[in-house]
Amino acid sequence: MSWSLEELAHRSGLSARYLSSVENDKSDPSLSTLSAIGRALGVDPGELLGTRDLSPAAMEAGRAFASLSRDAQRTVLDLMRLLNRRTGRRAT
């Protein structure tokens, strides 16, 4: 498949400017954005993130995390890091 950014924008309903900012790591796409891109490409959004092999619990945690505010996300990450330190595990 060899689409231009404009073609992907048209098929996904997103702007080419926004897609360019995602492509160049200037914007972080939301789950709904990844879903729109996945639908346009005919792939599962998990394939875009390499998450097809995640457990259902990990996928649920990711969705719940994404719905939180930035401040709440920072708090959750801090708690997870603390748990990892206490159990002697490191995040991968």
Q: Please, what are the domains in the chain?
A: 5-49 (1.10.260.40), 56-87 (no CATH)
pLDDT in tens, 11-67: 999 999 999 999 998 988 888 898 899 899 998 877 777 666 667 888 788 888 888
pLDDT in tens, 58-83: 878 888 888 889 899 999 999 999 99
Judged on CB neighbours under 10 Å (0-12, 13-18, 19+), 44 is middle
Q: Distance between CA atoms of 57 and 15, rounded to whole angstroms?
A: 32
